[in-house]
Structure 1
Amino acid sequence: MTQIEAPAVTPFRTKLNSPLTKNRITVLQINLGKRCNLACTHCHVDAGPKRTEELSPEICHQIIDLIHRFPQIKIVDLTGGAPEMNYGFKPIVEAARETGKEVIVRSNLTIYFEPGFDYLPEYFAENQLKVVASLPCYLEDNVDKMRGNGVYNDSIRAIQWLNQLGYGKDPNLIIDLVYNPPLPLSDKFSLTPNQVKLEQDYKKFLKEHFDIQFNQLFTITNLPVGRSKFHLQRTKLYSPYLRFLEDNYNASTIEHLMCRDELSIDYLGNVYDCDFNQMENLGAKSRTGETLTVGKLLEAGSLDLIDQIRTASYCYGCTAGCGSSCGGALV
């Protein structure tokens, strides 16, 4: 099993008592491309307005074929960039909903106010899409520092719009928010706050100030990947941060890691164990050692070709403290 390790931390595989293995695949997470109307400082995808990489019609067709052919897929999780801006968004949404799958859209919310995208809130509600939206703090200054001037106010307006359509109130219209900690400026690192307590704080503040309702808050650790990695390297905090994450390793998170029951697919059709491996170009391997693509999954007639998950030093980010995943804390 190939590893990518930073110096001065224990190789992640050594920390485990046994190989990290796949369960039966039930989640497809698809990165539709790098196009985004924002360029957030913590973005591990390195997305932005100047990026042009996106899904091709050929790969889009293959993904739709995958969705139709495998009823074991329960969740189709769409990300980017801003997934809504990239080719294939609507066809994949509609294929997944036609086949009864839950669709998650990882939305930055501000996209609704860009020309040509004001149809999105109603489209989300009509198709009962689950919205997972970044709001890295409930205070304006902290959000705008991480995501750009005016992003907080646009995000608030967007959530209010979704609330008017029933999101956060109707049990079929779910909106969850995501907390990311600010990037560290010194070696005084800290883990993400207690998710339950922080959710209560978010709900109280947003209800009192903006009459906003949402379902859950997810606390997500900044992994040293993408722009977070560049920041840590620039400030000479990369190795200390990895050591901090290792020092807070929690073995009870392993059972719940998101990589165990998902496949991550990039806009070129390559397959990875998780989104972070995708960004570090650490492709998933079949049990025979073959690099996987969507085309190869279709040829094989199976999603379950992977025995062992490929790991690296940044896996400590998902296993530190209460753990971290696209669905928040793990334990």
Structure 2
Amino acid sequence: MIQSQSSPKTVTPFAQKLGAPLTKQSISVLQINLGRRCNLACSHCHVEAGPKRTEELTAEVCQQLIEVMYRFPQIKTVDLTGGAPEMNYGFRPLVEAARATGKEVIVRSNLTICFEPGFEDLPEYFAQHQVRIVASLPCYQADNVDKMRGNGVFDRSIQALQKLNQLGYGDNPNLILDLVYNPPIPTTEKFSLTPNQQKLEQDYKTYLKEQFGIQFNQLFTITNLPIGRTKFHLEHRHLHQPYLQFLEDNFNPATLANLMCRNELSIDYLGNIYDCDFNQMENLPARTGAGKMLSVAKLLEAGTLDVIEAVRTANFCYGCTAGSGSSCGGALV
């Protein structure tokens, strides 16, 4: 891991660092943020979700999204996130429409939702529809997880993983279970990049198997981007600018070809279109070549998903392009 050194320089604007627009490719992934409702309020949550949030998908947008799935076979993956996506309106109809049209479905689950009243059947539901689960487990030790996510979250996460294993997850090739690591939010200028993904995956697999009998498919390492609650914590400690400088210092142009924003549309609960979930949280809507904002309804009207020429970027994009890179699917190189 590389550590930072204090530096007085200012951050180079990300667009200037690239030198040319980050072009959009043909859309194959729909990532849908169903809303901000969640049973947890994690310290690192860039969505700033929680139990008191009420924003969620509307019936109208849900129906439009289902129509998009049926009309555009180029979509290979429907990626459902939140909040806890399972708690928000439209979750099951979207899962079932995506599976009916032959698409891979990913749910980004916090695992503990399976113990909330009314959601106890989720493990069986996931297995029935062969939903790929990408589950946050920011460490394989209890103390670190509970500090980030709340008391008791680690134990409930372990119980949920054991239940999923009993149903065949992590073993059956049609029942994929991936875990997500993200580092603690920095509290000093001793910043570090995420560890080597393959090595850390082996550490996770060994520990979870030996201690709890748990098996899973892949580990994804994700960098903390300086947005949402992470940005708040960094600013509170006067670390926001130094952290951005650290990320820029570790900029890796080899990550650019694999950035998730290039072939996905990120859709919020109102049906607005963004290049990625991070832009969505920072209110940077995607725009057409003519500068017009987009919605699901406008895409249906246009009869095409490929109307965005270039990805909108900002300085927090250094988080996805530092070191080995970072995406919803983990390291990029």
* TM-score in same-fold range (> 0.5): yes
Q: Cα offset for 1:82? A: 0.2
The counterpart of 2:122, out of the listed 104, 120, 123, is 120
Q: Does 1:224 align with 2:202?
A: no
Q: Cα offset for 1:17? A: 3.5
Q: Does 1:306 align with 2:312?
A: no
Query: 1:3: which partner in 2?
Result: none
SS at match of 1:264: strand
Q: Which amino acid aligns with 2:201?
A: E
Q: Which amino acid aligns with 1:327?
A: G
| Uncovered stretches (5+) of structure 1, i.e. residues with no partner | 1-6
SS at match of 1:306: coil
Q: Cα offset for 1:163? A: 0.1
In the aligned structure 2, how far is the partner of 1:253 from the partner of 1:95? 33
In the aligned structure 2, how far is the partner of 1:231 from the partner of 1:68? 42
Q: Does 1:212 align with 2:214?
A: yes
Query: 1:317: which partner in 2?
Result: 319
Query: 2:195: which partner in 1?
Result: 193
Q: Which amino acid aligns with 1:157?
A: Q
Q: Cα offset for 1:188? A: 0.4
Q: Cα offset for 1:126? A: 0.4
Cα deviation digits, residues 4-43 of structure 1 (max 9, x gap): xxx9210111111421000100000000000000000000
The correspondence of residues 143-182 of structure 1 with structure 2, limited to 5 A, is: 143-182=145-184
SS at match of 2:205: helix
Q: Which amino acid aligns with 2:206?
A: K
Query: 2:105: which partner in 1?
Result: 103
Query: 2:5: which partner in 1?
Result: none
Identity over aligned pairs, percent? 73
The counterpart of 1:183, out of the listed 168, 182, 185, is 185
Query: 1:35: which partner in 2?
Result: 37
Q: Cα offset for 1:131? A: 0.0
Cα deviation digits, residues 276-314 of structure 1 (max 9, x gap): 000000000011111000010000001000001000000
Q: Does 1:138 align with 2:136?
A: no
SS at match of 1:263: strand
SS at match of 1:178: strand
SS at match of 2:31: strand
Query: 1:80: which partner in 2?
Result: 82
SS at match of 1:58: helix
Query: 1:21: which partner in 2?
Result: 23
Once the two structures are overlaid, the 10-residue window that deviates more, 9-18 or 143-152, is 9-18
SS at match of 1:63: helix
Query: 2:61: which partner in 1?
Result: 59
In the aligned structure 1, how far is the partner of 2:17 from the partner of 2:267? 27
SS at match of 2:220: strand
In the aligned structure 2, how far is the partner of 1:175 from the partner of 1:137? 16
Aligned residues: 325
Q: Cα offset for 1:57? A: 0.4
In the aligned structure 2, how far is the partner of 1:86 from the partner of 1:134? 18
Query: 2:243: which partner in 1?
Result: 241
CA RMSD, 1 decimal: 0.7
Q: 4+ residue runs of structure 1 moved beyond 2 angstroms?
A: none
| Uncovered stretches (5+) of structure 2, i.e. residues with no partner | 1-8
Cα deviation digits, residues 152-190 of structure 1 (max 9, x gap): 000000000000000000000000000010000000000
The correspondence of residues 268-279 of structure 1 with structure 2, limited to 5 A, is: 268-279=270-281
The counterpart of 2:289, out of the listed 287, 295, 308, is 287
Once the two structures are overlaid, the 10-residue window that deviates more, 11-20 or 256-265, is 11-20
Query: 2:6: which partner in 1?
Result: none
Give the structure-2-normalised TM-score.
0.97
Q: Which amino acid aligns with 1:48?
A: G
Q: Which amino acid aligns with 1:99?
A: T
Q: Which amino acid aligns with 1:293?
A: S
